[in-house]
Structure 1
Amino acid sequence: MEEPSFLTSYRRTKNEAPPYFVNRLPIQCRYEYQMPRDVLQKELRKSLELIQRMAISDSLSSHTGCVNTLDWHEDGRHLLSGSDDHSLIIWDTIQQGAAAPFTIKTEHQGNIFSAKFLHQPDAFVSASGDGLVIRAQLAEGLVQQRPFKCHTGTTYRVLPLVDDAASFISCSEDSTVRLFDVRQEYSNCKERPGCPHSLLVNMEKAVSAMALNPARPFDLAIGCSDSTITLYDRRKMDKALNRIRLQTVKNMPRRITSLQYDRRGSQLLANVLAEKIQLLDLRVGQQLEMGTAKKLQDAKELLPSDAMPIKRLRLRGDWSDTGPQSRPGQRPAAANAAAPSSSSRFMVEISDLMTTWMRNQMTVSQPPAVAPTPSPAAAPAVVAPRRTPLVPTTDRSGHGGRNDSAIEDLLASTHAAAAQQKAPENMVSLKPLVQYSGHRSSRTMIKEACFWDDGYIMSGSDCGRIFIWHRASGRLLNVKEGDAHVVNCLQPHPFDFLLATSGIDYDVKLWRPILEEADFDEDAAQSIVDVNNQMLEETRDTVTVPALAVVQILRQMAARRNQQAQPTVNPAQAEAESSDSQEEL
């Protein structure tokens, strides 16, 4: 079989000068610098004017589902994408018209959430919602796929090891982080879920984010669903270097959706569900005293009963609170056209019905407040039971719904679980160096935040926009519309002034500074920020449920209604009627 065109172009150009974007800048930006092109390119990436002139220059369309992951190859020419359509695509971003994208139909049965090149254009690894991890290799025009079925839950991230091209790391909802080495015998394991051989560490909490330190490749950061980040040296996984609990609103446990070290390895960027993005200075964290977790736990126990509000339910597939046109308090009917569809009206009615029913169930089952024994150091107080989420705010599909159908999860205890969650004693509370706000991140668990050069921070948002902040101050510098619903992925080019983004739309968008002048409007941006802040409060505690859960709720509601409709029979009267019936017989 003929070699894929993208490999041919790679072999032809890998020893040539990379195609720097400076040659394609608008005429007014072509400066006659007497410096090497790579130095010029680095200087251009620092330009705020060019950042504010960025716009969509190309749209790469071939996927038939949401595009959940992007990765640039180190050659700067090829881009890897993975999608809900279970396929991977390798794009040649230089010869888009001349070279057709190379599509790989994978063995994944779930949405692909992460895909990475393995430091060569003909080998890559991917992970999906069904827990499957696949290493693919191109050989003589054919794609050889090697599956790893060790995970028992959704696999969110895969990371290739810089120091070992044959190994990669994955993390999962099943609380495990695994290290795969294709040279080992267990690499052929296909039917052993929960396989102990690849286990690197069990975090005892769902793991949805990881990062490797580019300055010290053995340093591994692991982000979990309880707002914690654990730092390890991969050579000594028996003991953590540090455990950090992020500061969140009301100390609520929140899922970490992405982690990234800066290029010096001294700072860590964390994107947290329904919270601000946080930049952590790890050098400060190493100087903090350990054992502050108990203070956090004590503070959490003093939360008022309304600190964890009753959740509102949302049907999976309802994206009415996302996109550039979404507004606070807006229902699906208002978000759509003037004449809403019957399906939109149905989703509104069902959502309201389920929410009312869930509130009633929680009211009935709500235990009385418990008055603890007062201590001499504290005034007498009544501590109400704390409530935990009925189900995670977002789901194992990555887009805001749960794959499991157990209605018991929806009706889980609203007070006991939180009381039982005790933080490890060696946890530190690390105050963020800088926080970045104005965006909205509550609908998806794969939303990324990243560095642009050394001076800027970027993130996607549930409002369908890209947000860019000044790294040192946290000041918002640009807002760009990038998706009809949600922007999840942002991947800066390794050296060019080029950004790749994706989200709920079925395409990949490429951004370059092609506008004639900067178009950042601070007043318009502030209006967007105000709307996002209001909607974040509305959706912070909203739960997305799948259709099967809706069916189960409706069945239980119907059963309860039938029980209530049946007339109450006096036991004495029933016994008398039974005696009369026996006498007649």
Structure 2
Amino acid sequence: MSSKGSSTDGRTDLANGSLSSSPEEMSGAEEGRETSSGIEVEASDLSLSLTGDDGGPNRTSTESRGTDTESSGEDKDSDSMEDTGHYSINDENRVHDRSEEEEEEEEEEEEEQPRRRVQRKRANRDQDSSDDERALEDWVSSETSALPRPRWQALPALRERELGSSARFVYEACGARVFVQRFRLQHGLEGHTGCVNTLHFNQRGTWLASGSDDLKVVVWDWVRRQPVLDFESGHKSNVFQAKFLPNSGDSTLAMCARDGQVRVAELSATQCCKNTKRVAQHKGASHKLALEPDSPCTFLSAGEDAVVFTIDLRQDRPASKLVVTKEKEKKVGLYTIYVNPANTHQFAVGGRDQFVRIYDQRKIDENENNGVLKKFCPHHLVNSESKANITCLVYSHDGTELLASYNDEDIYLFNSSHSDGAQYVKRYKGHRNNATVKGVNFYGPKSEFVVSGSDCGHIFLWEKSSCQIIQFMEGDKGGVVNCLEPHPHLPVLATSGLDHDVKIWAPTAEASTELTGLKDVIKKNKRERDEDSLHHTDLFDSHMLWFLMHHLRQRRHHRRWREPGVGATDADSDESPSSSDTSDEEEGPDRVQCMPS
């Protein structure tokens, strides 16, 4: 009862602003509270020394308050001490010193933790970078490993030729690795004032046709390095393809362009162009034409409007719609088309999705599978989030294989006789196909090699069977090689790109060319591709970038060309830009760069 009463009195006095107990008792009680706060003070010793006995109301009150304090927590203790202000100065200094030391230690720990985190992150980043570099080195080494023994040997072949047992010496030599490895630039053909987007040899291999952003087509005697004739194509925008029709006596050229027109040029024996006429019109850019190997009158065209036209020059209305390419009722714009040389009823197309589609002209029924005979796609791209596009595809010499180049991906070889949905059989790596609609082709009379341009300005040649890079040449100072055209009979290759000339390559080097810098270029291409893949850059974004760059270059070129005294009249200066701008606006955003055919 006395304990309860004492504590009750204490609470009452606290409410009135005073205490019934003495200051010494109050100090003992406060020291007891400090003990509950973690301060190393013996509450019982203090209480005994202050009161002088073991019992009594004061002892009871102190014990009661000590018990109350322990049950009330640290916040109450601190409030109580602040109210009284009667705790020891020495203890206060010790508490203050200890708290300062603890604060300093905590501050040091807080400062140390970010440094440790940064060090750990730097170590992890260095480790990841080291791992990535090792993985990249391993990948490059695998792509540039030792080549297998060549199938064709020069000395044994020459010996057999002397004995009369090698009737196809030239044919086999043209497809020999030893000649491809000795490729060297022979000369350039200069005559265009814009990017050269298309190249095509005639059947005999004596003439080479080229088309350009300058809207002109030039027919070259490539051996003499002279133009046979050049003429205005009649197109309103970039010429993407110009091809000699087979068995026409080199008198007919078929052309297509960014303006969507398909035109035909009639060439005369007097080395001039009689006229050009439009035979078809796409609603988007038309990048490619597909010739039938023996037909001088019929060919196919494909456009970004997803339409494939069959064109027969013998008809009053030459063009008729063959098929509209769709995927689940959605149109698929087309960049490329090619006729199977072994079965001219079949043709393959590729464009703004990841599928190679093969059609048979005799069996097209758009109500059944959208008329598609079969589709091919690398299995890892079927459901990929990356927006894969096929920029170019070609059949091999005998139609058994189909080569497809993917935008910012690799080049894939399919067996054309495989069933629908079959996986690729070969894969060719190392180049970069992002900035433009890049071309790809076979090289050799038996399609022994694969050749492609690259955004790095180099030409890559792979051995088809081993997938190894066997030749690597700088093909364009402007930075991008787009078009590659093998000679039909000789070991000669014609290439073009953003530069305004055509380059002729032949195996005239005294020894196999050293693949100097190949590994560094492959690494750079791989890194850039991986970086771009993180941003999911698609072909349209790349087109826009290249369009802006090319437009600035063209503006500077036209400004210099139209300066006084250069030969352009004021009327020409006023008319040309307006017509060019109008056609650009009408064609939409997808015709964006110096695109090849």
TM over 0.5: yes
The residue number in structure 2 matching 1:496 is 490
Residue among 423, 427, 438 paired with 1:431:
423
- Return the alpha-carbon distance in structure 2 between the equivalents of residues 494 and 41 of structure 1: 12
Kindly tell me: are residues 215 and 109 of structure 1, through their superposed partners in 2, closer, same or farther at Cα, counting changes over 3 Å? same
The residue number in structure 2 matching 1:199 is 321
Residue among 406, 417, 432 paired with 1:272:
406
Residue 77 of structure 1 deviates from its aligned partner by 0.8
SS of the residue aligned with 1:165? coil
SS of the residue aligned with 2:317? helix
Q: Does 1:458 align with 2:458?
A: no
Report if the CA contact (8 A) 2:200-2:210 is conserved.
yes
- Return the alpha-carbon distance in structure 2 between the equivalents of residues 88 and 539 of structure 1: 35
The residue correspondences of 1:60-209 to structure 2 (distance < 5 A) are 60-96=189-225, 99-119=226-246, 120=248, 121-139=250-268, 141-187=272-318, 198-203=320-325, 204-209=331-336
Deviates more, 1:174-183 or 1:434-443: 174-183
The residue number in structure 2 matching 1:210 is 337
Residue 72 of structure 1 deviates from its aligned partner by 0.8
Residue 38 of structure 1 deviates from its aligned partner by 7.4
Residue among 480, 494, 510 paired with 1:486:
480
The residue correspondences of 1:347-362 to structure 2 (distance < 5 A) are none
Return the letter of the residue paired with 1:436: Y
Report if the CA contact (8 A) 2:379-2:423 is conserved.
yes
Q: Does 1:475 align with 2:468?
A: yes
Report if the CA contact (8 A) 1:123-1:135 is conserved.
yes
The residue number in structure 2 matching 1:536 is 529
Kindly tell me: are residues 538 and 29 of structure 1, through their superposed partners in 2, closer, same or farther at Cα, counting changes over 3 Å? farther
Kindly tell me: are residues 446 and 170 of structure 1, through their superposed partners in 2, closer, same or farther at Cα, counting changes over 3 Å? farther
Return the letter of the residue paired with 1:520: E
Kindly tell me: are residues 248 and 90 of structure 1, through their superposed partners in 2, closer, same or farther at Cα, counting changes over 3 Å? farther
Deviates more, 1:259-268 or 1:233-242: 233-242
Q: CA RMSD in A?
A: 2.6
Identity over aligned pairs, percent: 30
- Return the alpha-carbon distance in structure 1 between the equivalents of residues 155 and 192 of structure 2: 36
Return the letter of the residue paired with 1:170: S
Report if the CA contact (8 A) 1:56-1:512 is conserved.
yes
Report if the CA contact (8 A) 2:243-2:254 is conserved.
yes
Structure 2 runs not aligned, ≥5 long? 1-153, 326-330, 366-370, 550-597
- Return the alpha-carbon distance in structure 2 between the equivalents of residues 38 and 457 of structure 1: 26
Return the letter of the residue paired with 2:505: W
The residue number in structure 1 matching 2:514 is 520
Residue 215 of structure 1 deviates from its aligned partner by 1.3
Q: Does 1:242 align with 2:378?
A: no
The residue correspondences of 1:22-37 to structure 2 (distance < 5 A) are 33-34=161-162, 35=164
Q: Deviations over 1:331-381 (max 9, x none)?
A: xxxxxxxxxxxxxxxxxxxxxxxxxxxxxxxxxxxxxxxxxxxxxxxxxxx
- Return the alpha-carbon distance in structure 2 between the equivalents of residues 527 and 268 of structure 1: 30
Kindly tell me: are residues 100 and 240 of structure 1, through their superposed partners in 2, closer, same or farther at Cα, counting changes over 3 Å? closer
SS of the residue aligned with 2:302? strand
The residue correspondences of 1:387-466 to structure 2 (distance < 5 A) are 428=421, 430-453=422-445, 454-466=447-459
* Bigger Rg, which one: 2
The residue number in structure 2 matching 1:232 is 359
SS of the residue aligned with 2:205? coil
Report if the CA contact (8 A) 1:464-1:481 is conserved.
yes
Report if the CA contact (8 A) 2:220-2:229 is conserved.
yes
Residue 163 of structure 1 deviates from its aligned partner by 4.3
SS of the residue aligned with 2:372? coil
Deviates more, 1:86-95 or 1:143-152: 143-152
Kindly tell me: are residues 261 and 142 of structure 1, through their superposed partners in 2, closer, same or farther at Cα, counting changes over 3 Å? closer
Report if the CA contact (8 A) 1:163-1:217 is conserved.
no
- Return the alpha-carbon distance in structure 2 between the equivalents of residues 236 and 483 of structure 1: 43
Q: Does 1:507 align with 2:539?
A: no
Report if the CA contact (8 A) 1:450-1:490 is conserved.
no
Residue 143 of structure 1 deviates from its aligned partner by 2.2
- Return the alpha-carbon distance in structure 2 between the equivalents of residues 260 and 548 of structure 1: 26
Kindly tell me: are residues 28 and 63 of structure 1, through their superposed partners in 2, closer, same or farther at Cα, counting changes over 3 Å? farther
The residue correspondences of 1:321-360 to structure 2 (distance < 5 A) are none
SS of the residue aligned with 1:185? coil
- Return the alpha-carbon distance in structure 1 between the equivalents of residues 275 and 165 of structure 2: 41
Q: Does 1:47 align with 2:176?
A: yes
Deviation >4 Å, runs of 4+: 27-32, 35-38, 546-550
Kindly tell me: are residues 37 and 490 of structure 1, through their superposed partners in 2, closer, same or farther at Cα, counting changes over 3 Å? farther
Return the letter of the residue paired with 1:232: Y
Report if the CA contact (8 A) 2:376-2:414 is conserved.
no
- Return the alpha-carbon distance in structure 1 between the equivalents of residues 219 and 167 of structure 2: 25
- Return the alpha-carbon distance in structure 1 between the equivalents of residues 289 and 546 of structure 2: 30
SS of the residue aligned with 2:253? strand
Higher helix share: 2
Report if the CA contact (8 A) 1:53-1:516 is conserved.
yes
Tell me the TM-score normalised to structure 1 length. 0.60
Return the letter of the residue paired with 1:449: N
- Return the alpha-carbon distance in structure 2 between the equivalents of residues 90 and 111 of structure 1: 17
Residue 168 of structure 1 deviates from its aligned partner by 1.5
- Return the alpha-carbon distance in structure 2 between the equivalents of residues 447 and 132 of structure 1: 21
Residue 546 of structure 1 deviates from its aligned partner by 6.7
- Return the alpha-carbon distance in structure 1 between the equivalents of residues 480 and 155 of structure 2: 33
Residue 157 of structure 1 deviates from its aligned partner by 0.3
Q: Deviations over 1:190-215 (max 9, x none)?
A: xxxxxxx6111001210111111111
- Return the alpha-carbon distance in structure 2 between the equivalents of residues 115 and 29 of structure 1: 41
- Return the alpha-carbon distance in structure 1 between the equivalents of residues 373 and 157 of structure 2: 48
Q: Deviations over 1:104-133 (max 9, x none)?
A: 111111111111101131111010001011
Residue 494 of structure 1 deviates from its aligned partner by 0.4
Residue 93 of structure 1 deviates from its aligned partner by 1.9
Return the letter of the residue paired with 1:198: S
Kindly tell me: are residues 91 and 247 of structure 1, through their superposed partners in 2, closer, same or farther at Cα, counting changes over 3 Å? farther
Q: Deviations over 1:432-486 (max 9, x none)?
A: 1010000000011142233434321111100000111121121111211110111
Kindly tell me: are residues 37 and 112 of structure 1, through their superposed partners in 2, closer, same or farther at Cα, counting changes over 3 Å? farther
**Number of aligned residue pairs:** 370
Q: Deviations over 1:176-198 (max 9, x none)?
A: 010111222224xxxxxxxxx61
Q: Does 1:253 align with 2:387?
A: yes
